[in-house]
Chain A
Amino acid sequence: DIQMTQSPSSLSASVGDRVTITCQASQDISNYLNWYQQKPGKAPKLLIYDASNLETGVPSRFSGSGSGTDFTFTISSLQPEDIATYYCQQYDNLPPTFGQGTKVEIK
């Protein structure tokens, strides 16, 4: 199975800060990577697909980049409603696998 390693596992930032999360795959996955947001008690929500494409309706402060094994997810200006856990997920190989998650909190 492809292992997805996210870092950091948690972070605390101020409103308006730029937030960056990294995700590393254990092998080349091209751009077959998605990013999800999960708020407490809610289902995950797709934010970024194919590593860098913004899902319809998702605010433009969210972005993604990378290919191969190294990927980055960025919130350009953190808002209070962005408090959530964020997951990367690869779908290059079966089984699809997720990173362990990054919990984002407001400082």
Chain B
Amino acid sequence: EVQLLESGGGLVQPGGSLRLSCAASGFTFSSYAMSWVRQAPGKGLEWVSAISGSGGSTYYADSVKGRFTISRDNSKNTLYLQMNSLRAEDTAVYYCAKDPGGSYYVGAFDIWGQGTMVTVSS
């Protein structure tokens, strides 16, 4: 069964840092681009970042560029999101999602994790 399991969320103060992880199973992880998508409480979906299957190409939303870093460890089947300089407006459930387009980023999402909550507050 294809599965994504996020972890690492929690409460952090403004200006702080947090690293999210997404453990993948049930498919050849290195063969697929992956993304992070977030959802603020009671709001809609916002794409955050994506990475190619090899990790050689990364993409970011303007709202997080320069503060967040996406990476992956294909030997551990794990996707990461390093979040620095966190702001109140980063408060959201963060989902990792698999791109069905293969190793190259397409921008669609066919499998989603259950999400991990990040709260930025003093």
Nearest residue, chain A, Cβ from B59? A94
Is there contact, CB below 8 Å, between A34 and B109? yes
| Cβ of B26 to closest chain A Cβ, rounded Å | 15
| Complex partner residue of B107 from A87, A91, A100, CB under 8 angstroms | A91
Number of A-B pairs, beta carbon distance below 8 Å: 54
Question: A46 to B109, alpha carbons, bound, how many Å?
Answer: 7
| Complex partner residue of A49 from B44, B45, B47, B108, CB under 8 angstroms | B108
Nearest residue, chain B, Cβ from A45? B112
Main secondary structure of the interface of B (DSSP, over half): loop
| B residues 70-122 touching A (CB-CB < 8 Å) | 95, 100, 106-115
Q: List, in ascending order, chain B residues with CB within 8 A of A96's CB.
A: 35, 47, 107-108
Give the B-binding residues of A (Cβ under 8 A): 32, 34, 36, 38, 42-46, 49, 55, 87, 89, 91, 94-101
Give the A-binding residues of B (Cβ under 8 A): 35, 44-47, 59, 61-62, 95, 100, 106-115
Q: Which 10 A-B pairs have the closest CB atoms?
A: A91-B107, A96-B107, A43-B112, A98-B45, A96-B47, A91-B108, A46-B110, A101-B44, A100-B44, A95-B61
